[in-house]
Amino acid sequence: MTINGVPREADVWPGESLLFALRERLGLPGSKNACEQGECGSCSILMDGTLVCACLVLAAQADGHDLVTVEGLGENGSLHPVQEAFVEAGAVQCGFCTPGLVVAVADLLRRDPTPSDDAIREALSGNLCRCTGYAKIFDAVRIAATRA
């Protein structure tokens, strides 16, 4: 599979999740492991350009696919505009949901550069913030949208 533009290989157990393989075998711990049920969105990544929960994809099923994790969003060592907006808005509390949200927001702004509040709510409905810091997260999306 290709991860963040680089061809990668891993030996995996057939029942193992892509999230486990990313974090424990491929040195990419940015995607977080929380609910393992597809409920919280902390492990959101892009698979062939589609936002998915890496905890529900088997690592072996990702063979031959193109993946982008939170580590692959920024270019040339600089932050992605969505990451900069999260910093600027202070949209991070405990930080556990942040990587998944950053990937989900980047995906939203790529499809809809000027999203309405309803569109933001819908796009981020699968990403739960246990600190309930949604207001600042919304601020970050609006900041990022002005720069997209």
Partner 1 sequence: MELRQPSSAEEAVGLLGNGHVALAGGTEIVPLLRDGLLRADALIDIRRAVPRGIHGTTIGAGTTLAELEVDPGIPVVLREACRLAASPQLRAMGSIGGNLLQATRCWYWRLDFPCYLHGGDRCHAKDGRHDEHAIFGNDVCASAHPSDVAAALLALGTMLRTTARELPLAELYRLPTTDDPQTTTLADDELILELEVPIPEASVYLKAMDRQRWSFPIVGVAAARTAGEVRLGLAGVAPVPWTLTSVDDLDRATPLPGTAYKLPIARALVARALRAVATG
Residues lying near partner 1 in the complex (CB under 8 A)? 13-15, 17, 36-39, 41, 44, 50-53, 55-58, 60-61, 104, 121-123, 125-127
Residue (88 or 130) nearer to partner 1, CB: 130
**In the complex, minimum distance from the CB of residue 8 to partner 1, in angstroms, rounded to a whole number:** 19
**In the complex, minimum distance from the CB of residue 83 to partner 1, in angstroms, rounded to a whole number:** 20
59 vs 64: CA distance, rounded Å = 11
**In the complex, minimum distance from the CB of residue 125 to partner 1, in angstroms, rounded to a whole number:** 4
Radius of gyration of the chain (CA): 15
Residue that is written with structure tokens 């927001």 in the block: 105
19 vs 14: CA distance, rounded Å = 13
Say if residues 22 and 54 touch (Cβ distance below 8 Å).
yes
Residue (34 or 58) nearer to partner 1, CB: 58
- Upper half-sphere CA count for residue 60 (Cβ side, 13 Å): 6
Residue (17 or 98) nearer to partner 1, CB: 17
Residue (98 or 127) nearer to partner 1, CB: 127
Q: Which tokens belong to 42?
A: 């902390």
**In the complex, minimum distance from the CB of residue 46 to partner 1, in angstroms, rounded to a whole number:** 10
